[in-house]
Structure 1
């Protein structure tokens, strides 16, 4: 059984108590639930100047910034920002200052070998 997490606790820094493991260079992850091809959720922690490779969304992705800021080709998202990426969209994601984000995936993303120029 998964212990309940309160959103308010996460926003107030409760994510600092979680255990993180490597995900991508400069990015660590604390899985909340899910694996494989189905729904999943996790907390991602980006170091300063970290980046996640260009990827396509195969299902909806919800991203809530808990600390710092995250950017993509459409703009910058500060603490408290919620973005929803629909299926079929793609982008690069990076954080100049570092950030922590709650991500909820309907389906896994597909990493694309090379992004737009």
Structure 2
């Protein structure tokens, strides 16, 4: 039995996460649980953000890997351009602002928690 996960681009559906922020879950690393403002399980995600959209302030208990596929994305004080990779260390917090329509790949080894800041 294989543990390989394959998700065709035809099966990738995006749900609105917040205004202008759309997410597609590519893989869940474990069962999600916890309160509304916490995602405790790890996940691999694909995000689309409309120009001017903002992702809420949040932190990463297990860190976060982000790879910008297209667009221009401000994460905290850094500006990411296509091909840029960003590792956010465990416990660090930030928000994100799409300076252009953007698509990016994210791995959350241990989920995320919204800080409300």
Q: The TM-score by the shorter chain falls in which range?
A: 0.7 to 0.9
Structure 1 residue ranges, 4+ long, deviating more than 3 angstroms after superposition: 15-18
CA shift, 1:4, in A, is 5.8
1 CA distance for matches of 2:87 and 2:80? Answer: 12
CA shift, 1:77, in A, is 0.3
1:97 aligns with: 100
CA shift, 1:75, in A, is 1.7
Give the superposed CA RMSD.
2.0
Q: CA offsets per residue over residues 6-54 of structure 1, 9 Å max, x none? A: xxxxxxxxx6984211111101111101151232101000001011111
Structure-to-structure mapping, 1:30-109, within 5 angstroms: 30-34=24-28, 35-36=31-32, 37-109=40-112
Structure 1 unaligned blocks of 5 or more: 6-14
Tell me which of 11, 23, 26 is aligned to 1:29.
23
2:113 aligns with: 110
* TM-score between the two structures when normalised by the length of structure 1: 0.80
Which structure features the higher share of helix residues? Answer: 1
